[in-house]
Amino acid sequence: MKLLIKNGRVIDPANNIDKVLDILVEDNKISKVEENISENADKTIDAKGCWVTPGLIDLHVHLRDPGYEHKETIATGTRAGAMGGFTTICAMPNTNPVTDNEILVEYVKMKAERDGVINVLPIGAITKGQHGEELADIGKMAQVGACAISEDGKSVPGPSLMKNALRYAKMFDLPVFDHCEEISLAKGSMNAGDRASLLGLKGISNDSEELIVARDMILAGSVKAQIHLCHISTTESIIQIKQAKERGVNVTSEATPHHFTLCDEDITEYDANFKMNPPLRSRKDVEAVRQALKDGTIEVIATDHAPHHIDDKNCEFEKAANGIIGLETALPLGIKILVEGGYLTPSELIAKMTCNPAKILHSDKGTLSVGAVADITITDPECENVFDVNKMKSKAKNTPFDGYKAKGKVLYTIVGGEIVVDNGELVK
C-alpha cells in the first residue's frame, strides 16, 4: 500500500528535523520525506496542524501475559499502546511463569505476532524465577530476541550477583533495566512525608531508591556495562546519576508521566489508584524530575504501564497492588506538563519517547529516515483531552487520571506502514 501524509509538522529528532513536510510510505517503508509530494497514493492523510513523529517507543510495560491475563493480555495491552501512539513496547518479565528462559521469550514474541497490533520486545529476567538467587540463562534469551534483562518489581538483592549479571549482559550487548529499591527500607505504602502521617500510612523513604541507584551504578562502572535506571523519582537519585555520568558510567534513566505530574500531596484519600512503586514523591522531587528531563540527565519517558484487576485495587490502601496503567495517557501528559509547562520543546519531548529509547535498545527504530520501517504517530497537540477510563482499550482501569484534563490526542498510529489507529479510532 502507498500512503501519503501531507502538510504535517514533521518532528524527527534523530535527524534534527522540525518543519512542515510530506511523507510518502511505500509498502512498509518510508520512501520520501520532502515538501509538496504530489504522487498518487492509496490513502492520503491531511496532517495539517498535527505533529508527525516516529512511532513512540516505551521501554517499560507490563503486559501480564503469561499468567495474569485477568489483568491484561498482549491483545489488549498492544491496542492500548496503539491508542497512545506507541508502535514499539518492551514487555517486562514479571509474569507467571517468569520470562526467565528462551522458551518464554519465544512465547511472548509468538503471542505478540499473533494477537498484537504493535511491536513487542520481550525483556528477560535477571535471575531464575526472579528469586534473586541464580542468574537466568541470559545468553540464550539474548539469542532468541530479548531486548534487555530486568528484575523489575524488585532489585537483585546481592551485589555480587548483580555484578555478574552486568558482566553477562555486557557479553551479549544487552542493557540492564534496573528497578532500584532496597526492600528493607521500602516497607510502607506511600512516600514518607506529612501526607503519609496525616493519612496514618507508613511511609517509604527516598533512600530506599537512592541506595540501590548508587550501588548499581558503581557496579556497572566497575565492569563497564550498560545500565538503565527505571522510574527515577528522587532528587538525590538525579544528583547521583549526574555524578556517575561525569565519571563515565554508561548509565541512562527514565521518568514516568505520573512521577513528573503528581506528588504525594495529591493523595487526599485512600484511593489505591494513587499507589505505585516507587511512590509519588514530594513536590520538590517532582520538580527535580522535571528539571532532569529538561537538562537531559533523564533521557527517556517510559510509562511503567502496570495493569491490575479491580480487586487488586479495590481494597485497603496498604494491601493494594502497586502501579497504574499509562500507555493511553503518557503523550498528553507530556504535552501538558512538560511542553506547555516550558520544560521541553516538542522535539525534546518526542526525542525522549522515540530516538532516545531506540538508542538504548541499539535499535534502528525511532526515526523517519528514508528507508526506515514506517512506524509513525500523528498527534493533534492542541486537542483538549479529558481522560475517560471507560473508553480506554487497556483491560485494566487502574488510573488516577480518570477525568483529568490534558492536551493532545493521537489521531493515527501506523505500524510497518499499516494503519492501526485511524482518525482516533482503533481499526485492528
Q: List, in sequence order, every residue forming a beta bridge with 52; answer none if it has no partner.
A: 10, 378
- Reduce the secondary structure of 197-251 to three states and give it as a string: HHHCCCEECCHHHHHHHHHHHHHHHHHCCCEEECCCCCHHHHHHHHHHHHHCCCE
**Residue 277 vs residues 38, 259, 374, 391, 413: alpha-carbon distances, Å:** 51, 10, 35, 26, 30
Active site residue 304: yes
- What is the H or E stretch that residue 141 is in? helix 138-143
**Residue from 58, 216, 304, 380 carrying the catalytic annotation:** 304
| Per-residue 3-state assignment (H helix, E strand, C coil) for 60-123 | EECCCCCCCCCCCCHHHHHHHHHHCCEEEEEECCCCCCCCCCHHHHHHHHHHHHHHCCCEEEEE
User: What is the rounded CA–CA span in Å between residue 53 and residue 365?
Assistant: 12
Give catalytic residues, as residue numbers. 304
